[in-house]
Amino acid sequence: MPKHFFVVALCALGLACSPLAADARKPNILLIYADDLGYGELGCYGGKHVPTPNIDALAAGGIRLTQGYVSAPLCSPSRAGLMTGRYQQRFGHENNSMTSENGLPLNQTTIAQRMKKLGYATCMVGKWHLGSSSEHLPMARGFDEYLGVLGNPGSYFEPHGYIDSRISDQPQKDFPENFYTTEVFADRASQWISEHREQPWFLYLPFNAIHGPHDVTEKYLQRFATVEDKRHRQLFALLSAMDDAVGKVMQTLRSSGQEENTLVWFISDNGAPPHPDGNVPLRGNKYQCWEGGIRVPFIVQWKGTLASGTTYTQPAINLDVLPTCIAAAGGTIEPDWQLDGVNLLPYLKGENTARPHRTLYWRIDNRWAVRHDDWKLVVGIPTVEKPELFNLAKDVSEAHDVADKHPDEVAELTSLWDAWNAELADPPTKIKSDKKKAKRNAERAKNRKE
């Protein structure tokens, strides 16, 4: 039989020329982003207080990164870096004030827009925090569909800024009696996955858990009934609820036969505020440039492609997610995208044994850090009188400042950071003084006691 006749016959049968056949080898991509989850809170990272079997199962079925970073120790800029694969300070998205546009700049291309060009169905379910005007909504930034909250919602039961694009592009104000964001997000994500099993898809699932307020239902509180401290009990219950939600979504993948062909990410947006387990054994917390603010749980699973139950010990960053997804989908990363992230697949597969990044940078509101190989120079909080120097290979807890003993390393890292800093845009708003912030926090603490 002539070759051309065979091809025509296949096309007639809808096998060779259909979009489904062309996309058959493209993996689905599930990107889960937790909120305020610290390095030491999950069982697979040594957490002792909360069983997290479903998230731990991702690590058991994939790769757990021990030096996974985010590009900012705060919600909105971390998400801006994730969505673009670029240091968000390059386009002025330094803090939760976002930019002069009050959102992720429209001249920045999101991962969802790039995946759509590769033929993917796209959906977002969860917390956006990258702008609330119509042109900045997820539906205008590459997502076919969106259900979630625009920023910190103020409540898990009656969240403000809650939108379901299947109903309207305007926030809803009425909620069912048993509405709970963590469960609603898991339900919609699972439904959408089931509905799109016939085409490659990209689903971004950023929970607002475990960010405050610590609203939880009695179902989850009962799991920690013996914990006396109310705030700790609520926090533990929040994490347990999110673990259940991850379990539900993963069960949908398994039951629909899609898990083997899905690249799954689980990352936190920044380090935890101070609380039990938190960022142990790291120093510092959310909104600080010590390791506790920027090193986070970071798990990658792609069964049949990446090894299962292993760890990866070289530094990687959330900026790497976009180029890795593009590569996994068979796309080409163009130089004019000016990405700061890299494709992690050769590193995670062991094909490239070098570090994905020799140098990583951070800057937020007069806090900054640069890591070069195992040396880190850091101004963790603005009240630090001079940068501290640590060797993270010997001192992961950043307990021993060795700046005075290693002036050459201080000079080298300072030069690296100065050169990078000179490339960045200015923050869009005036930075509040630490004195005013300290006064505000003291007043809040006093009100809680009263």
Q: Find the DSSP H helices in 172-256.
A: 181-195, 218-221, 230-255
DSSP for 79-129?
HHHHHHSS-GGGGT--STT--TTSBS-TTSPPHHHHHHHTT-EEEEEEE--
Q: Are 268 and 274 in contact (CB under 8 A)?
A: no
DSSP for 341-353?
----HHHHTTS--
For residue 69, which amino acid is it? Y
Cα–Cα distance for residue pair 357/373, rounded to 1 Å: 8
Identify the CA nearest to 172 among candidates 183, 186, 184: 184
For residue 402, which amino acid is it? V
pTM of the shown model: 0.91
Q: Which pair of structure tokens corresponds to residue 338?
A: 């000016």
**Which residues does 48 contact at the CB level (< 8 Å), separation at least 6?**
277
CA 339 to chain centre: 17
Cα–Cα distance for residue pair 296/42, rounded to 1 Å: 10
Q: What is the pLDDT along the chain (450 residues), one digit of tens a residue?
A: 444 433 334 333 433 333 334 345 699 999 999 999 999 999 999 999 999 999 999 999 999 999 999 999 999 999 999 999 999 999 999 999 999 999 999 999 999 999 999 999 999 999 999 999 999 999 999 999 999 999 999 999 999 999 999 999 999 999 999 999 999 999 999 999 999 999 999 999 999 999 999 999 999 999 999 999 999 999 999 999 999 999 999 999 999 999 999 999 999 999 999 987 899 999 999 999 999 999 999 999 999 999 999 999 999 999 999 999 999 999 999 999 999 999 999 999 999 999 999 999 999 999 999 999 999 999 999 998 899 999 999 999 999 999 999 999 999 999 999 999 999 998 876 444 444 554 565 565 555 444
- 256-260 contact pairs (CB < 8 A, 24+): 256/193, 256/194, 256/197, 257/197, 258/28, 258/193, 258/197, 259/303, 260/303, 260/304
Buried b (16+ CB within 10 A) or exposed e, 108-117: bbbbbbbbbe
Cα–Cα distance for residue pair 358/347, rounded to 1 Å: 13
Query: Angle at CA 137, nearest 5°, toward 132 and 140?
Result: 150
Place of tokens 């509905």: 195
* Cis bond upstream, residue 281 (ω within 30): yes
Q: What is the pLDDT of residue 14?
A: 39
Identify the CA nearest to 335 among candidates 344, 323, 325: 323
Q: Which residues are catalytic?
A: 75, 129
Cα–Cα distance for residue pair 450/438, rounded to 1 Å: 19
Q: Are 364 and 77 in contact (CB under 8 A)?
A: yes
CA 131, 132, 133, 137 dihedral sign is positive
Q: What is the pLDDT of residue 277?
A: 80
Cα–Cα distance for residue pair 130/206, rounded to 1 Å: 12
Cα–Cα distance for residue pair 386/204, rounded to 1 Å: 39
Q: What is the pLDDT of residue 104?
A: 98
Cα–Cα distance for residue pair 364/373, rounded to 1 Å: 22
E strands, 26-98, in order: 28-34, 63-65, 68-69
Q: What is the pLDDT of residue 303?
A: 96
| DSSP letter assigned to residue 195 | H
